[in-house]
Each structure stands twice: as structure tokens, then as C-alpha cells.
Amino acid sequence: MSNARTRFGSLAARTLAPALLLAVAGQATLAAGPIVFRSGQAVVVRAASPMAAAQQVEAMSPRTGAKRILVQFDQPVTPAQRASLKDAGLTLLSYVGSDAYFATVHAGQVNSAKLAASGAQMTVATELDPVWKLNEDFALGRVPEHAVVGVTEAQANQPSEKIIGAYMVFHQDVDLGEGAKIAELEGATVRDQLESINGLVVELPVSSVMALALHDEVQWLEPALPKFEANNIENASLTGANLAHSAPHSLTGAGVTAFVYDGGTALASHTAFGGRVTVIDSSGLNDHSTHVAGTIGASLASSFPGMAPSVDIVSAGFQYDGSGTFLYTNPGDIESDYANAFNNFNADVANNSIGTNTSINGFPCSIEGDYGVTSGVIDGVVRGNVTGGNPTRIVWANGNERQVSTCGSTYHTTAPPACAKNHITVGATNANNDSITSFSSWGPADDDRIKPDISAPGCQSNGDNGVTSTSSSGGYNVKCGTSMAAPTVTGCVALMLEKHRQLFPGAPDPRNSTIKALLAHNAQDQGNVGPDYQYGYGSVRIIPTLDFMDTLSYVEDTVDQGGTVSQGVTVGSGSGPIKFTLAWDDAPAAPNPVAALVNDLDLVVTDPNGTRHYPWTLGGNANPSAAAVRTQEDHINNIEQVQIDAPIPGLWTIAVTGTNVPQGPQEFSLTADGGGLAGMAVTLLTPVPALIAPGSNIPLTVGVVANNQSVIAGSVRVHYRYDGGTYLQLVMNDNLDDTYSVSLPAVDCGDLPELYFTAEGTSTGQATSPASGAADPISTEVGVETFPVVEEMEAGTSGWVVDVGLSDPQATTGNWNRMDPQGTSAQPEDDHTPSGTDCWVTDGNAGASVGAFDIDNGATNLTSPSFALAAFPEARLSYWRWYNNNAGASPGEDIFVVEVSNNAGGSWTTVETVSGDQGGGWVQHEFRVADFVAPTDQVQMRFTASDLINGSIVEAAIDDLQVVEQNCTSVGPTCPGDANGDLLVDLTDLNLVLFNFGSAVPADTNGDVNGDGFVDLDDLNLVLFNFGAVC
């Protein structure tokens, strides 16, 4: 089934009443400006014409292979133009601002005439300067000391030189495996992969930096960030969270899971948590993490309740660089821990009270304000880059850089990675009076973006002089920092998620951008009027936010290049100030340019007299203390807010325009005062299975929330097709409880069912679910699954062999054993099978210490019995694995190898190699057997875990192996509406239905054309909508 989205509100999905939908006059076009890279402004020569630029591209084409170049256009490139450019031999890659892109040309494929005729007004085409690939430090030959990890050995004619940790990014069309070979060719050691941004964490001699920049495949190089460091009654009172726990909201975060990513793990046994904390890695107990977790979710029965006292918490810590020591930040650990928390432990929101603490540690002040590789990783994680496309929600402390004056004590003191775009960054106020604290970092970022986004209590200037929360000692202690402000917001987000699920049961959780827009929209303005670089959009207030959510006036939608999505909002006489807030989770930026914004949307608000009202904008680094103004568009931030202090009554138009969307389409979130966006919402209540057996009907039920209007009778419909052709419609039956039901005709092999729903309200017109309707319908497949192999590893499982003596050397401890594992910080407490107890685990006993029975001094092999798969050519084999190698003296060096054989072990093919930076957690891996070996009746699997290099903690486990194949056997031709089986839909079928109307009959007989055992409106609709069909 496709990843269909059911929206709780949508603009584009509605056909608005004619009086409400106004056209937006004209579309802004941005003239291309200078291309400013982090190493300086690019000096480029403008071509005389688009044809001249196209000819330059053709002249730069390589004789063989591919080559990357820089191109710039006079206006935004549309998706159609992008496709035409690719057809003419020019593939656009990363956007670098000012309508410029890195691009690829292939030998013999460029056609200059077709390029010039593409409609994209290309004005610059030039070779890439290697300096454009370097950050400021590397470009100036500087080596930050925090990135130094060692020195090379001196040679006879070559002195020793520093070895540094660094991040490399390759162009989007470069295979990461090939990129690793390039890195190693130039003397770099690969420590981790950054799959979400096509990059690597490496350690390399300083002299290798420019050598790597000269490689065509390399897009970017920067020094590694300094290592991350850790950065309630009063908090609940100021934010209003304590009031949210009781009526009318009665919210506690129940059913929501928060991920605490911190300097270690929380004390799960603390009485304030009541067993709601799950530790998912072995980074070690940490007091800061425990304090943060308590601020989010300590129980109401505890001495100091958290913001969301019923929330579940998963806890993990940031870890080493991959070499066994923690010298710098490894963004690969962000990817792996987030993937584990969200994919395997169902996290809903993440808290990050960590940062680089640049000023207090004496790190280079030049990195403050930076958007770099780690920021790009975080932005990608928000958009779902490590969670299978499912977006995440991230709260991040804005930092405490103003506690010392090393890097200044006022503006531009936000250190990376708080300068990413998509996470919700939080400044710290004093809980007793909402004043800004003396330490909280201020914006702007290097490119003038606003930081922080919002603020929340993180200290107190009287009373206990801080935030009191849980301690790793089992008691409570007091701390101050944005580290305390961030979990205050995370707990509030948990309440918002619980609220949203009550308002829209079965709908997806709101995006990160929706949470950001809601918090900013309802924050208490502090500091200068409007947003500023101290408080952001203000101090969080959860009760006004929850009350606003009750108005349902928040929506998510999509806009592409040049597109406009608009809606009318009626403002009454005597209305007070009104606000409209737009936010979007932007595409990760290339680290090369200074400007981080990729997709530029604009919020266009027009009053009844046709006057446009502009969003707040700030003075940037040139004038950071200046109050916000409302005189111009914002082409810097991915959050905008229009506030009208004294609105005139009448019909206002709220429009979101895709001013420049090079990586679209772009999802966005919009909030509006006065309930103006509260249109009708349609939610599917009976999920469509991913696989439907041939001959089965598809029963459907939707819920319709009318939102202060009436549903037009007969307007709730399902639109469906089985053959990719024209959609058919069925009116859904009104169940008289705001739900509507219908059953679709039986499916057969070869059908490709697709469907969406519409309903029409008396005020706001038509609503569609999923929001994009026919463009992105719900889809499923027809067939059945066969499971020739199911191995749950419980007692009675036979044929598995621990190959003692096969490895050289053979592990002296930690050999495979099937048992109920005894939990340690490195191995699981429980197997994976929900109703089971046993799994295969390396030894499995806990012992007196974590390393007592782990793998030591060699390898251990586990081989499966032979599986008979010759009759299953499309067999897919899956298993759940656990691997931990991130502790001990030299962690991260060993690997876990999984192999398959189709000749009973005569030869082996590697299926996957699990890297040594894994921190445990059950992870499923699935593969198509035929992609590796031909399925035979002698298929076997082998799992090899080892501790072969330097000593470290290594534990592995395997559970729930199964083989599945999807197939389909036809049940014969179907003919929707054909009641008598003559493959015609005609008067005979109609009479049969009418004669038996209202009767209960045997399924598929006597007019029951949809097979549900009743002759009713569903059957009549099927006959009428298909009348005249010849099957």
C-alpha cells in the first residue's frame, strides 16, 4: 500500500465556495543574485544568452564518464523545465541559492540546442572551483584544534602532520561506496556513513583536504564539530502545563513516546517514571539525561511532576567518533539512534538538550551561526530521511553560549547544530518572571535566520534558582540551561500530540512544522514587539495553544514551484489583532552556500480592500537589535507570521505561494486566527490492508468532522479504480453517527486498487482525503502471502548449528546460544517474539559485568537449517537482529556479517555487513533471495559476530526469521454491478436489485452485487454507476 496521507485539514484539497476563493495577482519572480559560498563569493561570468550558456555546458562535457559543474538561471526553474534540462543532458543536483545549482553533464549526452529551448533561462555555466567545496577554516588553511585526533608518523623526507576529523559530502548522484574509495585513496579513514546526506565521517591528514577537493565527485569538506556536551513546578506554571492536566483538556501525554537524546541515558528505575522509561543503548547512566527526562515526563505522583506525566520515554546517548574515543561529534550517531528510536521504539517527538558549548570550551567562535553537515543531517531527519519517509518532530536547546563572553555576550551566539532550519530551537527564560536568562544564546544565524524559534522556562532567578527535576541518584536536583527549557517544550509537544489524536482519530500526527507554527502562533510575545533574536516568537503558552487547536484552524498542504494555495477568511467588525503563521520543514541545504533556505515560500495576506499585509522581518546581523518590521517579504526563514493589529471587516485572502521551490513539492503548515481554516475533515477509519485476497470486497468506513457546518447529503463518496483508468464513484451510506460506509466490489489478480474520498460542506466546499486525491490515492495490491519458513527460535526449533571451530580464531567467550537472554547494557533483556522467550544470542548470560560473557578473541558462527525455496522464486527472507559494539576499550571496530547460501553451505554470499557503531535495539532486515542467490531447496543463512581487532564489548542476537512469498490465483472475471453474472450491467440487474431491495440474502446472490449479504443502496449504486458496462 502506498504511504497515503490522510490530512486533518487541507487547502489545496478543497474546492472552496466561489465567494471564498480569490486569485492571487501575479507571481513574484526573484532576479538571480550573487552566489555566496562559505569560502567567499563565487566569481562567475554571465553568458551573453541562454544559447551561449548552453554551448558552454556542451563544451565542458567530459570525454568519458560524468562531470559536475555550476549553473545559474535568471529565474526559478520549474519541474517541467528541470525535466527538459535532464533530457538535454544537464542534471540539476544540489541547490546553492540565487537560482544556482551544482549539476552533472555526461559524456556525449549534452544537446545545447535542446538546453537553450528548455525554457529555463540559463545565464551561467562554469567549472567548479575546489575552494567552493571548503568551509572557511579549510579554505584559509586553518585547523581547529578540537578536530585534531592525532599525527602521522614522520618519514625520512616528510615531517609528521596533524590528522583531523572531518565531514565529507558527495554530489547527489555519487554512490557512497565509491565515495568511500575516493576518501581512502587520499589517505582518509572512514569512521561512519551519513546516508541521509550522502556523506562520510572521516579522519585524514591535513594535506589530504585539498587533494579530496580536487575530486569531481566531492561536493563539500568541513572540520568535524566539537563533541556534543549536555547543554519543574515553576515551568509547568509559566507554560500552563499544570492546567492542561485537568479539565477541560485533561491531557497527560498518554500514548505518546518521547525520545531523549542526551549525554547518556536516564535512570529508568527512578520512582518518578513508574517504569515508563526504556533505555535503548549502552552510552551509560547520566544525571543530565535523567533531569531532562523528568522535566518531560515525571509522574503526577512525584515530588516534581513533568509537563507530560504519562508520556513514555526512550533514552539514548550521543557517542564516539567511530574510533573508540569521543573527540568530536559524529552525526552518523544521530542517524542511527534516531532510526532506532523512531523505527523500533515508536518515538513521536525527540528532545535534544545538547550542543557544542563553543564559547565555554574555547572552540573557534567562527562556527557560531554556522549551518553545516550536522545541521543538514538534522533537517533531513525531520523530513523522514532515516525513518522511511515518515516525518519526525525534534526539539533542540538553542544553547548557553552567553554564559561567558569569549564569543560575545549578545547577538549571533547560537552555536551549531542549533542553526539547523527544521528543528524547534528553544531559548531559556526565568520561570518566575519570564525574563530572558543571562546565558541563553541569541540569534541570528550566519544567513540572518531567526534563532531561537521560541523560548520556555529553563532557570529561575529566585526560589531554588533553577529547575528542579529527577536525578540519577534516585532523588531530585536543580539545574539551569536551555537544556531545561527544551524538555519543557517537548513535554508540551506530547500534550499537543495527544490533543491532536483526540481531535482527529486515525489521522497522521501533525508535522514538525505544524507543531512549530502552533507554538509560535500562540506564544506570549516578549522582548521587542513581534519576533526577535532573544525570545524568538515568544514564550510558550500551552493552554492558549490547546484552545487554539480546538478551533481546528490549522492545516497542512503542499505547494510546488510557481503554485499558489489560497483560502478566504471572513473577519467580523470589532475584531482584535489577528495572526496567520506559515512554517515548513525545508529540504536540507547544501553546506557550500551561506544561505540555508532551499524552498522559498511566501505568506501573502490581502485585506478586503486589496492591500497586502507583510510578515515580520528582522534586521539580521547588520542590525540585530532592531525591532521587527512588517514592510517586505521574507526570503530567509522557513517560518513567517503576518499580524494585523486592527483588521478591517470583510473577506481576507490567505495565500501560500511557491516563490522558489527547487526541491519540491514542499509540504507546509498554516495556522489562522478566528477558525478561518477550519474546513471539513474526512478520515479513513478502516485502514485498507496492504494486500487483499482475490475475490474479496474492500469494506470502507470514513469519519467526517463537519466543523460548524452541514454535510451536503450524498456528497460523501469513494472514488475508486482497479485498472489505472477512469475513477468510478460510490455514494457512501450515512450511518447517522458522523461516519459513512460502503463496500467496494471484489478484486482479482492483476487489479491495482486505488481510491480516495470526498465530502462537501455547506460553507467550505469539498474536502478530499488523502489531500491530493487522484494524484496520490490510497493504493493496495491483490494477492496472498505464503510463509514456507517461520522460525521463532523457541524451544523445539531444530537444525540450527553453532559452528565451533569454523572461525579462525574461534571466540573464547560469547559463542551463540539459544536462551531467554539476561539483559545488560549491551544485550537484550527479552527476545523479539511478542509471545516468546528465547532467541539466539551470543552467550546470553549477564555475568558480574557487561563484558563477562560477550564475544572475545575471535568470531562465532550461527548457521540455519536448509530451507526448501525452489518452489518460491520471489521469496523474501527477513530476520530481526540485535548488534551492539559501542562500548569497551575500542568500540566501533568490529562488524556483524550475514550471509546466504543456496548449496547447503558450499559457498556463501554476503547479504549485509552491520557496521560496528550500532548501539543495540531489535532491527528487522529483509531481502529478496533471488537478488543474491537462486532459490533452491538448500538455502541456508549464516550469522557471524566477532571481536577480532582490539578488545571491546560485542553482543549479537537473532530472532524471528521467516520467508514469505506473495502470489495470486485468479477467481475469475468480475463485473461491478453485474447482479446476474452475464457480464453485462443492464435492466435485468437493476430489476433484480430492486426486487430484493432491503433483503438479507446469501452473499453474491439475488441482487447482492457487492457480496456483503444485504441488498441495499451500495448494490443499487454499483448497478447505476456501471449501467451499460460490458465485461
Average pLDDT of 280-285? 86
Q: Which amino acid is at 327?
A: L
For residue 788, pLDDT beyond 90: yes
Residue with more model confidence, 45 or 613: 613
For residue 455, pLDDT beyond 70: yes
Is the pTM higher than 0.85? The answer reads no
DSSP 8-state class, residue 333: H
Question: Cα(461)–Cα(226) distance, rounded to whole angstroms?
Answer: 31
Cis peptide before 593 (omega within 30 of 0): no
Query: Which of the listed ranges 238-242, 393-397, 651-655, 847-851 does the model predict with the highest average pLDDT?
Result: 393-397
Per-residue pLDDT tens for 397-434?
Answer: 999 999 888 898 899 999 999 999 999 999 999 988 99
Band of pLDDT at residue 20, cut at 50, 70 and 90? very low
Question: Cα(270)–Cα(265) distance, rounded to whole angstroms?
Answer: 12
Cell numbers for 896? 556483524
pLDDT at 3: 32
Per-residue pLDDT tens for 26-65?
Answer: 233 334 678 999 988 888 888 889 999 999 999 999 999 9
For residue 750, pLDDT beyond 80: yes
Q: How many residues does the chain have?
A: 1031
Question: Cα(368)–Cα(346) distance, rounded to whole angstroms?
Answer: 33
For residue 124, pLDDT beyond 60: yes
The answer to whether residues 243 and 307 touch, using CB atoms and an 8 Å cutoff, is no
CATH code of the domain occupying 551-675:
2.60.120.380
pLDDT at 230: 65
**The domains spanning 551-675 and 786-967 adopt the same CATH topology:** yes
Domain ranges of the chain: 43-128, 135-223, 229-546, 551-675, 681-775, 786-967, 975-1031
For residue 364, pLDDT beyond 80: yes
CATH topology of domain 135-223: Alpha-Beta Plaits (3.30.70)
Q: Which residues pair with 454 in a beta bridge?
A: 426
Band of pLDDT at residue 510, cut at 50, 70 and 90? very high
Average pLDDT of 824-840? 91
pLDDT at 16: 24
Task: Cite the beta strand spans of 128-240 per DSSP E.
Answer: 148-151, 162-170, 189-194, 199-205, 218-223, 229-230
SS3 929: helix
By percentage, how much of the chain surpasses pLDDT 90?
A: 67
| Number of Cα atoms under 13 Å in the Cβ half of residue 421 | 31
∠ CA 366-372-373, nearest 5°, is 140
DSSP string, 649-678: SEEEEEEEEEEE-TT--EEEEEEEGGGTT-
Band of pLDDT at residue 1004, cut at 50, 70 and 90? confident
Band of pLDDT at residue 837, cut at 50, 70 and 90? very high
pLDDT at 960: 97
Question: Cα(358)–Cα(229) distance, rounded to whole angstroms?
Answer: 10
SS3 41: strand
Enumerate residues 6+ apart whose C-beta is below 8 A from 438. 402, 403
Per-residue pLDDT tens for 251-266?
Answer: 999 999 999 999 899 9
Backbone angles phi, psi at 84, to 5 degrees: -65, -40
Residue among 112, 24, 6 nearest 687 (CA): 6
Enumerate residues 6+ apart whose C-beta is below 8 A from 655. 24, 564, 565, 566, 567, 603, 604, 605, 606
The mean-pLDDT minimum among 159-163, 393-397, 531-535, 698-702 falls in 159-163
The answer to whether residues 356 and 414 touch, using CB atoms and an 8 Å cutoff, is no
For residue 102, pLDDT beyond 80: yes
SS3 753: coil
DSSP 8-state class, residue 1016: S
Per-residue pLDDT tens for 86-95?
Answer: 999 999 999 9
Average pLDDT of 642-650? 94
The answer to whether residues 883 and 956 touch, using CB atoms and an 8 Å cutoff, is yes
- Calculate the average pLDDT of the chain: 89
pLDDT at 8: 40
pLDDT at 826: 86
Please state which of the four CATH numbers 3.20.20.100, 2.60.120.200, 2.60.40.10, 2.60.15.10 is assigned to the domain occupying 786-967: 2.60.120.200
CATH code of the domain occupying 43-128:
3.30.70
Band of pLDDT at residue 675, cut at 50, 70 and 90? low
Q: Which amino acid is at 465?
A: N
The answer to whether residues 140 and 38 touch, using CB atoms and an 8 Å cutoff, is no
Band of pLDDT at residue 915, cut at 50, 70 and 90? confident
For residue 634, pLDDT beyond 70: yes
Domain 229-546's class? alpha beta
Q: Assess if CATH 3.40.50.150 describes domain 975-1031.
A: no
Average pLDDT of 820-827? 89
Residue with more model confidence, 374 or 155: 374
User: How distant is the alpha carbon of residue 874 from its chain centre?
Assistant: 31
Average pLDDT of 462-476? 88
Q: Tell me which CATH homologous superfamily contains domain 681-775.
A: Immunoglobulins (2.60.40.10)
| Number of Cα atoms under 13 Å in the Cβ half of residue 989 | 28
pLDDT at 233: 54
Question: Cα(314)–Cα(80) distance, rounded to whole angstroms?
Answer: 44
Average pLDDT of 994-1003? 89
Average pLDDT of 96-115? 94
The answer to whether residues 777 and 755 touch, using CB atoms and an 8 Å cutoff, is yes
Q: What is the longest distance spanned by two Cα atoms in the chain?
A: 102
Cell numbers for 839? 532467541
The mean-pLDDT minimum among 293-297, 307-311, 326-330, 921-925 falls in 326-330
